[in-house]
Amino acid sequence: MQLGKLKKIDLRKAWEHEALDFTKWLSKEENMALLSEEIGVELNLIETEASVGSFNVDILAEDSNGRKVVIENQLEVTDHDHLGKVLTYTSGYNAEIIIWIAKDIRDEHKQAIDWLNEHTDEKINFFAIKMELWQIGDSLYAPKFQIISKPNAWAKIMKAPASDMTERKLKLLEFWTALNEYLEGKKSDIHPQKPSSDHWNDISIGTSKAHICLNALAKNCKINCEIYIPDNKDFYYMLESHKEEIEKEIGEPLSWRELQSRKASRITIYMNDFDLYDTSKWPEYFEWYEDKAKKFKKTFSKYI
């Protein structure tokens, strides 16, 4: 068998200019999706070259929960100037997710990002990502995002003030971590975002209009799987017009909530008798999540 040889390509061969070429490429939906998959957070573009005083952040985005995301790009090795810009943009937009992408990450800048992740609360998340291009023979260039530094959710929760570090938060982080391990072990095609201490976990369905959201409602003793539509009533109405065929394919009735007084809309299915603290029941919950998420993804993706 004849095999090809991987060769690394200089970034400037594909993108001569950071703002005009690389930022333009990264801001496209399919490329933002690649970055989203790598960091485990769904990213939706707001604006490129967004102003912060006399500076412009390369990409301003938001995640599926509306948290602001700033992305700073470099086609060269990281430097102090860009580190300063990253911090300026973070404060200027009150961002909670900060992504610094470069040709390579200097050790001192990795240490700086690690330090920021260790000394900020769990809402603030810094990523340092190495950008690479690879080619086999004369094939098209293949982009690769390599995470060099990322947040440590466990460390942040353990360092939170006692009033914030609740047993429930720790258990939720353990619960979502176990869910991801369960799905990875099965080689499932369902890929939630990185585990957190929140009561929800999101799954992309290939559009910024909506996503699947898994909820673990410990106080209400319920879990649910839902289509969450952040701000698009017309999209909700379109889906609602296909209610009969959607529910037929899912195999059971759904809760359709337009939520007129809010921007968001939800289409939900529930499972009762949820006990977050009974780990022996977790495999049952995980199986239910996977089954419903697969059905939702297959069914609702037809209407995107």
Q: Domains of the chain (ranges plus CATH)? A: 6-152 (3.40.1350.10), 166-303 (3.30.1460)
Beta carbons of 285 and 299 less than 8 angstroms apart: no
CA distance 264 to 50: 25
Which H or E run includes 202?
strand 200-204
Q: Provide the 3-class DSSP secondary structure of residue 144.
A: strand
Q: Please report where in the chains the tokens 């001569």 appear, as a residue.
A: 16
Q: pLDDT by residue for the chain (304 residues), tens digit each?
A: 778 888 999 999 999 999 899 999 999 989 998 998 888 888 889 999 888 777 889 999 998 777 899 999 999 999 999 999 999 999 998 999 999 999 999 999 999 999 999 888 778 999 999 999 999 988 999 999 999 999 877 666 666 665 555 688 889 999 999 999 999 999 999 998 888 888 999 998 888 889 999 999 988 899 999 999 988 999 999 999 999 999 999 999 999 999 887 888 999 999 999 999 999 999 999 999 999 999 999 999 988 7
**φ, ψ for residue 37, nearest 5 deg:** -65, -35
Cα dist from 185 to 188, 205, 274, 281, whole Å:
8, 21, 23, 18
Would you state the pLDDT for residue 67?
Answer: 85
* Average pLDDT value over all residues in the chain: 90
- If you compute the radius of gyration of the chain from its CA atoms, what whole number of angstroms results? 21
pLDDT at 209: 87
Closest CA to 98 of 142, 62, 143: 62
Q: What is the pTM of this model?
A: 0.63
Burial of residue 101, with CB atoms counted within 10 A of its CB: 0-12 exposed, 13-18 middle, 19 or more buried: buried
Beta strands across the sheet bearing 265-272? 200-204, 211-217, 222-229, 265-272, 255-257
Backbone φ, ψ for residue 268 (5° rounding) = -130, 150
Q: Report pLDDT digits (tens) over 141-182.
A: 999 999 999 987 766 666 666 555 568 888 999 999 999 999
CA distance 131 to 93: 24
- Look at residue 76 in the predicted model and tell me its pLDDT: 96
Per-residue b/e over 253-278, b at no fewer than 16 CB within 10 Å? ebebeeeeeeebbbbbbbeeebebee
Per residue in 32-62, pLDDT (tens digit) is 989 988 888 888 899 998 887 778 899 999 9
What pLDDT shows up at residue 222?
94
